[in-house]
Amino acid sequence: MKIGNDDLRARTFKWLFGRNSEFWPTNMKTGMWAWVGHRLTGIILVVYVFMHLSFLTQASLSHEKFNSLMQVTAQPAFVFMDFMLVCAVIYHAMNGFRVVLFDMGVGIRKQKLVFWIMMAIAAVLVAVGFWLLFDAGLFNGEWF
């Protein structure tokens, strides 16, 4: 039987977001959350790389523009966004390490435990990163 495009679209939508979809929050287990998070952070990082290059382009085009742009990004809200980016990298890297371990045949049977061990390490790294920024006064006491 041939299915029309609209039909396919509706089915795809249900497959992705429906109550029975494997992506419905209550249907997701640890491994699935880990994968969704990995994919999301991966995509965010790719987008960021292009933003990063754009900012640097401003610098090579006009020094005044770059310097004032850097002053804007030194505001606490932007530092916080930078910090969120560091969190994304740390999550992606720690879970990526977990995936590589599994591919080498290490720890698959204990994948949940491995996930939480990695997240514990990630939490320590995030805390250290936060402390360094906080200690340098980059949040300016505005938020914290």
Partner 1 sequence: MSEHRIATSKVAGTWAWFFQRLSAVLLVILLAAHIIAAHYWHVGEEISVDTVNERLKNVAFIAIDYSMLAMVLLHGLNGTRTVLFDFDMFIKRRKAVDKGLWILGIATMIWGIVILWPFISG
Enumerate binding residues for partner 1 (CB under 8 A): 12, 15-16, 39, 42-43, 45-46, 49-50, 53, 56-57, 59-60, 63, 66-67, 70-71, 73-74, 82, 86, 89, 93, 96-97, 100, 103, 129, 132-133, 136-138
What six digits make up the tokens of 134?
């906080």
Binding status of residue 49 toward ligand HEM by CB under 6 A:
yes
- Residue 37 or 129: the one with the smaller Cβ distance to partner 1 is 129
Give the nearest residue (CB) to ligand HEM. 96
- Residue 30 or 62: the one with the smaller Cβ distance to partner 1 is 62
Closest CA to 97 of 68, 8, 89, 20: 89
Binding status of residue 83 toward ligand HEM by CB under 6 A:
no
Contact 133, 84 (CB under 8 A): no
Residue 101 contacts by C-beta under 8 Å, 6 or more apart in sequence? 107, 114
Binding ligand HEM (rule: CB under 6 A), the pick from 42, 76, 107, 129 is: 42
Closest CA to 38 of 66, 108, 124, 30: 30
Q: Cα separation of 33 and 43, whole Å? A: 15
Contact 85, 46 (CB under 8 A): no
Residues that bind ligand HEM (CB under 6 A): 38-39, 42-43, 45-46, 49, 89, 92-93, 96-97, 99-100
